[in-house]
Amino acid sequence: MTSIIKNQIVKHLSKFAKNITPDQISLDVLKGKSELKNIVLNEEVLTEVLELPVWLRIRKATCNRVAVKIQWMKLKSAPIELFIDEIQVDIILTAEKPPPKKKGASLK
């Protein structure tokens, strides 16, 4: 059962993380705890989600630890807790210029 859950976690996180494997996930199903360490984040997805301007580019993004706590016996009444320890993002300026403003456009 643990391997099925780990594979589902990988399936859903693989959009946001690079080269994630089930072996990286620490999972204790009965206690409702899971942990993932040293995650390399997908720069393209982050850029899209954060809606960064074209003249900014994420060179590298990492997260050192993510932990999840689920209280199975109180699933309807207790929140699912997500702890993100630290995210490091290396952003650079690119040579691309911002798109020109349209003439005659007014702010209303």
State residue 98's pLDDT score: 59
Share of the chain above pLDDT 90, in %: 39
- Residues 41/13, Cβ–Cβ less than 8 Å: no
How many whole angstroms from its chain centre is CA 34? 15
Torsion, CA 15, CA 16, CA 19, CA 25, rounded to 10: -110
Q: What confidence category does residue 103 fall into, taking pLDDT thresholds of 50, 70 and 90?
A: low
Evaluate the CA torsion angle 94, 100, 101, 102 in order and state its sign. negative
Average pLDDT over residues 55-60: 91
User: Which residues contact residue 14 at a Cβ distance below 8 angstroms, ignoring those fewer than 6 apart?
Assistant: 20
Whether this model's pTM surpasses 0.75: no
Question: Over 80: is that where the pLDDT of 29 sits?
Answer: yes
